[in-house]
Amino acid sequence: MRTRANRDKNLVKISKFLSLVLRHKPEHFGVSLDHNGWINVDALLAAANRVGVTLNKVLLQRVVKESDKQRFALSDDGLRIRANYGQSVAVDLGLEAVTPPEILFHGTATRFFESIKKEGLSPARRQYVHLSPDKHMAMSVGKRHGKPLVLTVEALRMHEGGFKFFRSHSGIWLTERVPAHFISFFLPDRTD
């Protein structure tokens, strides 16, 4: 029976597949992204079907539309798709550097505290450090890694000091690195 839970599970599975292809390992699936991170929808569907992920245009449109974090974007003509953020492969998202809000948040795990305090935030395997506009979102990002720790980043002060900030199409902020002296650390005891 096609229950809502099954349908949602399938959408999550497809979303994870898309993240893998569009952010990290296109070559693993026999496809390549262009300079700006786009891939032809037809090539993507063929790659999905090769590895047993059932995917068609209608399903793809649904995943793009219903993605809670707006992870993916279809081109205006619907022929191409890319990830809005999160890439480890080098792509040019074509985002313009803009003035960030005074404060942005970064969710991480308590076990990274000492290292971040010493070295600041680095993008690890991704192209950018990812920052959230609100604390709730940062908390859920942090939970992916363990006991969450939310960091406050003085984004505007960084910007004034010459650091570039980009706002992805999903509202997540991107920057190349965050030196430790722009970060305040706190352990949230509540989620509000």
User: Which residues of the shown chain bind ligand HQG in the complex (CB under 6 A)?
Assistant: 19, 69, 71, 86, 108-109, 112, 115-116, 119, 121-122, 124-126, 130, 141, 145, 172
Residue nearest to ligand HQG (CB): 108
In the complex, the smallest distance separating the C-beta of residue 191 from ligand HQG, rounded to whole angstroms, is 16
Angle at 25 between CA 22 and CA 29, to 5 degrees: 90
DSSP conformation class of 176:
S
3-state DSSP assignment of residue 99: coil
In the complex, the smallest distance separating the C-beta of residue 1 from ligand HQG, rounded to whole angstroms, is 29
Q: Which residues in 27-38 are b (16+ Cβ under 10 Å) and which e?
A: eebebebeeebb
In the complex, the smallest distance separating the C-beta of residue 170 from ligand HQG, rounded to whole angstroms, is 8
Cβ nearer to ligand HQG, comparing 42 with 134: 134
Q: Containing H/E element for 97? A: none
DSSP conformation class of 146:
S
**Residue 47 phi, psi (nearest 5):** -65, -40
**R_g (Cα) of the chain, nearest Å:** 18
Cβ nearer to ligand HQG, comparing 39 with 172: 172
In the complex, the smallest distance separating the C-beta of residue 53 from ligand HQG, rounded to whole angstroms, is 17
3-state DSSP assignment of residue 118: helix
In the complex, the smallest distance separating the C-beta of residue 150 from ligand HQG, rounded to whole angstroms, is 10
CA–CA separation, 135 and 192 (whole Å): 8
Q: Which two tokens stand for residue 176?
A: 């190349």
Cβ nearer to ligand HQG, comparing 156 with 183: 183
Cβ nearer to ligand HQG, comparing 136 with 145: 145
Cβ nearer to ligand HQG, comparing 71 with 167: 71
